[in-house]
Amino acid sequence: MSVKAKLHYFNGRGRMETIRWLLAVAGVEFEEYFFETREELIKLQQSGVLLFQQVPLVEIDGMNMVQTRAILNYIAAKHNLYGKHLKERALIDMYVEATMDLNDLVMCHPMQPPEGREKNLALIVDKATNRYFPAYEKVLKDHGQDYLVGNQFSRADVQVPETILMMEEMKPDILAKFPLLQGFKARISNNPTIKKFLQPGSQRKSEIEEKMIPQVMKIF
């Protein structure tokens, strides 16, 4: 099957990871071009394909798309992962926007100076455990369905598990008080395309290694 999308980013999670998840779940094959130096990014900026001089950049369906949310919105809508109507979309948007807030905190965490890391980690865990996860647990409890919105699989059911897994890397028992989220995570992880993406050797990226951080900061 021919490759349907090309991703331009550095070889790590960052803002591109959620896009990788969604493409994988949608069954869209993709190639990746990784920057290793600042010069490579500059070259791309000079080529004029980056509307705001920024990556992620995703070449898809004849378009050069930038801005993470625009890209995610496109993939979700095209692949029927965005609800059946405007109000379902609104709920999905609410849920995924919150995951992106939490992901941003996680993404910026390695950039914290060493002295601030423990406190920052505690803050992230606190937000997950007291703000975000209780909300999703309640959503699942209130409607009693398998999926977060509209009784069908949507991007919310991809982005929330993605965030859960990232949080579990920071604190393995983070779902201890959330039985429904535990069940949800297990169920979603068994979805065939997600299961495949979670296998070693997939295009899913690992947590950034400490030693890589200076190199990444130099690129950007």
Partner 1 sequence: MSGKPKLTYFNGRGRMESVRWLLAAAGVEFEEVFLETREQYLKLIQDGDLLFDQVPLVDIDGMKMVQTRAILSYIAGKHNLYGKDLKERALYIDTYVEGTMDLMQMILTLPFSLPEAKEKNLPLIIEKAKNRYFPAYEKVLKQHCQGFLVGNQLSWADVHLLEAILMVEEKDPTVLSEFPLLQGFKTRISNMPTIKKFLQPGSQRKPQPDDKYVATVMKILKEAMYYSI
- As measured in angstroms, the least distance from the Cβ of 94 to partner 1 is 4
Phi, psi values for residue 84, rounded to 5°: -95, -20
28 is a site residue for partner 1 (CB under 8 A): no
Q: How remote is the C-alpha of 20 from its chain's centroid?
A: 7
Structure tokens at 106: 């996680």
86 is a site residue for partner 1 (CB under 8 A): yes
When binding is defined by CB under 8 A, the residue of 42, 63, 111, 122 that contacts partner 1 is 63
When binding is defined by CB under 8 A, the residue of 42, 135, 176, 186 that contacts partner 1 is 135
51 is a site residue for partner 1 (CB under 8 A): yes
Compute CA distances 205 → 3, 75, 186, whole Å: 19, 19, 20
When binding is defined by CB under 8 A, the residue of 93, 137, 157, 162 that contacts partner 1 is 93
Q: Determine the Cα–Cα distance for residues 118 and 114; give it in Å rounded to an integer.
A: 8
129 is a site residue for partner 1 (CB under 8 A): no
- As measured in angstroms, the least distance from the Cβ of 194 to partner 1 is 23
Footprint of partner 1 on 170-209 (CB under 8 A) = none
In terms of DSSP H, where are the helices of 57-212?
Answer: 68-78, 86-108, 114-127, 133-143, 156-170, 179-189, 192-198
Quote the DSSP letter at residue 220: -
Interface with partner 1 (CB under 8 A):
51-53, 63, 65-71, 73-74, 77-78, 86-87, 89-91, 93-94, 97-98, 101, 105, 123, 127, 131-132, 135
